[in-house]
């Protein structure tokens, strides 16, 4: 009997503490708005105070955020937010408006890239002729020399950088050449979300015959993504002379600044190390043309 009474007392004390902590957290207008908007009962909400605080912090970060590159949340472009299901709060990551637009554009780009062929390339735009000739030469020489340098193709948004390189890769894939295109910001998130397949994916990216790293410079830079992921992949491919392609809205010089993370000399050295690997792997080419996504 004494044991039952002690157990009930402990539960009561825990509930008192939970209620007290929740009352303090509820002073945060963001938490109050979440609870009000979702009609969360107090006895439910008080069990999730710490998670509600995390959600509120993410929402605060989103206020006046100008772009994905300025995102301060744990996972770039995503807000940690709850749903009320059967008197329980289920938290998940919800894409912000910038991320939703980026995902929509990437889906359209992926659909075009997956079916792109060299015969589909528009050769009427003189600003793209130099790049098209380079790709045609790479294709013609690949069977005899599969260890060619790739291309670092940079230029304005929507000018068809990914489409052009994807057309080349799709043609080579028909000749049983293993090719892979990775959208760099999403690749980093996928690697972080699934540690069980991390080793296998890294091995594949390091060794696939031809790799396209799409939209490098659009990611939120971390030392892990830069040094452990990008640096490792590039070092292996450089050592084995495996063709590697990049698309970016940034020049090589701008990419180095982007990768530096901070003004510290250590970060500067690590960024330059990445850039040197890219230079060893590729030829640098600019393409400024009409935005074909309008």
CATH number, position 231 = 3.40.50.300
Q: Which whole number is the average pLDDT over 140-144?
A: 95
Percent of the chain having pLDDT more than 90? 56
Task: Answer for the pair 109, 88: CB distance below 8 angstroms, yes or no.
Answer: no
Residue-level pLDDT at 291: 66
Q: Using CB atoms within 10 A of its CB, is residue 259 exposed (0-12), middle (13-18) or buried (19+)?
A: buried
- Could you list the residue range(s) of the whole structural domain that residue 61 is in? 2-95
pTM: 0.66
Specify the pLDDT at position 202: 95
The yes-or-no verdict on residue 119 having pLDDT over 80 is: yes
Is 273 buried (19+), middle (13-18) or exposed (0-12) by CB count in 10 A?
middle
The residue from 43, 63, 95 where one domain ends is: 95
Across all residues in the chain, what is the average pLDDT?
88
Instruction: Please state, in angstroms and as integers, the Cα–Cα distance from residue 74 to each residue in 61, 139, 194, following that order.
Output: 10, 41, 16
pLDDT of residue 240: 96
Are residues 81 and 115 located together in one domain of the fold? no
HSE-up of residue 40 (Cα within 13 Å, Cβ side): 26
What confidence tier does 110 reach under pLDDT thresholds 50, 70, 90? low
Q: Which of 62, 95, 128 is the last residue of a domain?
A: 95
232 vs 192 pLDDT, higher one = 232
pLDDT of residue 2: 46
Res. 212 pLDDT band, cuts 50 70 90: very high
Write phi, then psi, for 78 (nearest 5 degrees): -125, 140
* Residue among 34, 76, 72 at smallest CA distance from 53: 34
In a domain, 294, yes or no: no
Distance CA 95, CA 98 (A): 8
Q: Locate 93 and state its tokens.
A: 């990551």
Distance CA 66, CA 258 (A): 17
Is the residue at 242 inside a domain? Answer: yes
Beta strands in 156-291 (DSSP E): 179-183, 210-214, 244-248, 282-287
Is residue 233 domain-resident?
Answer: yes
Q: What is the pLDDT of residue 4?
A: 46
Same domain, 45 and 113: no
Highest mean pLDDT among 20-24, 121-125, 259-263: 20-24
Rounded distance, CA 255 to CA 217, Å? 6
Q: 94 vs 245, which has greater pLDDT?
A: 245
**Residue closest to 124 by CA, chosen among 154, 93, 160:** 160
For residues 140-175, one letter each, b for 16 or more C-beta atoms within 10 angstroms of the residue's C-beta and e for the rest, the string is: eebeeeeeeebbbbbbeebbbbbbbbbbbbbbbeee
* Mean pLDDT across 181-193: 85
Does 292 fall in a domain?
Answer: no
Highest mean pLDDT among 66-70, 122-126, 242-246: 242-246
Instruction: Please say if the pLDDT value at position 95 is more than 60.
Output: yes
Residues 84 and 109 in one domain: no
Average pLDDT, integer, range 158-167: 90
Domain co-membership, 27 together with 128: no
Question: Would residue 293 count as lying in a domain?
Answer: no
Q: How many domains does the chain have?
A: 2
Res 290: pLDDT? 72
137 and 73 in a common domain: no
| Cβ pair 189, 68 in contact under 8 A | no
> Are 132 and 246 within one domain?
yes
The predicted model gives 257-279 an average pLDDT of 91
Same-domain pairing of 249 and 265: yes
The conformation of residue 144, written as its DSSP 8-state character, comes to T
Which pLDDT does position 136 carry in this prediction?
A: 95
Of the candidates 55, 71, 95, which is a domain's last residue?
Answer: 95
């Amino acid at each position: 009997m004494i044991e039952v009474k002690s157990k009930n007392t402990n539960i009561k004390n825990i509930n008192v503490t939970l209620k007290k902590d929740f009352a303090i957290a509820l002073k945060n207008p963001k938490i109050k708005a979440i609870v009000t908007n979702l009609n969360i009962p107090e006895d439910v909400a008080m069990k999730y105070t710490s998670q509600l605080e995390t959600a509120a912090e993410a929402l605060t970060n989103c206020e006046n955020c100008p772009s994905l590159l300025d995102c301060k949340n744990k996972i770039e472009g995503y807000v940690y937010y709850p749903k009320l299901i059967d008197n329980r709060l289920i938290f998940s990551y919800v894409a912000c408006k910038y991320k939703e637009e980026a995902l929509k554009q990437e889906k359209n780009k992926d659909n075009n890239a997956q079916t792109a062929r060299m015969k589909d390339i528009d050769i009427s735009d003189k600003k793209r002729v130099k790049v098209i000739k380079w790709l045609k030469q790479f294709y013609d020489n690949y069977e005899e020399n599969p260890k060619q340098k790739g291309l670092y193709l940079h230029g304005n948004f929507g000018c068809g950088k990914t489409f052009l390189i994807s057309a080349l890769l799709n043609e080579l894939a028909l000749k049983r050449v293993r090719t892979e295109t990775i959208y760099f910001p999403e690749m980093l998130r996928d690697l972080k979300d699934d540690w069980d397949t991390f080793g296998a994916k890294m091995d594949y990216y390091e060794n696939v015959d031809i790799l396209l790293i799409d939209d490098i410079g659009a990611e939120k830079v971390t030392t892990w993504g830069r040094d452990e992921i990008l640096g490792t992949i590039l070092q292996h491919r450089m050592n084995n002379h495996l063709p590697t392609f990049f698309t970016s809205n940034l020049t090589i010089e701008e990419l180095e600044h982007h990768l530096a993370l901070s003004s510290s000399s250590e970060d500067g050295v690590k960024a330059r190390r990445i850039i040197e690997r890219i230079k060893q792997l590729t030829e640098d080419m600019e393409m400024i043309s009409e935005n074909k996504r309008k």
